[in-house]
Amino acid sequence: MLEFLPKELREGLEAARKRNLTRKSRLRVQVGEAVFPILRFWQGGFALDAALTPNMRGLVDVYDGSRHVFQCLIITSTNENGELICDFKRSTPIRDRAPLDYWRDENAPAGYLPKA
């Protein structure tokens, strides 16, 4: 349907769509000091604006606003329709505390009272 529209109008619609996706999403990728907004995010990857982003590969940090959410290992990145599609091998969630090395019972008491 869009192929019947003039080229300038199609480019304007595409720019408005990208601007809307960038504005809606708070997710961003940080590689060193460079920061790139994420247009779409799914289970095995994410999409970035190809005009703003170089080809990526390796370990990157994903933020939601100012909160560090994931650390991802990008294995491939391809250009498709003006988007840089990045597929990652692993996505490790960032935790604010160290993981437990034992199983914690969910019905365990919060604390013990000392003997009187």
Nearest to 92 by CA among 65, 66, 60: 60
d(CA 71, CA 95) in angstroms, rounded, equals 11
Whether pTM exceeds 0.75: no
Q: Do residues 82 and 51 make contact, with C-beta atoms less than 8 angstroms apart?
A: yes
Q: Do residues 27 and 37 make contact, with C-beta atoms less than 8 angstroms apart?
A: yes
What is the block-wise mean pLDDT of the chain (116 residues), using blocks of 10 residues? 75 74 74 88 89 86 90 89 89 83 83 78
- pLDDT in the model for residue 106: 85
Nearest to 23 by CA among 12, 42, 37, 9: 37
- pLDDT in the model for residue 113: 81
- pLDDT in the model for residue 98: 79
- pLDDT in the model for residue 111: 80
Helix or strand run (H / E) with residue 12: helix 7-24
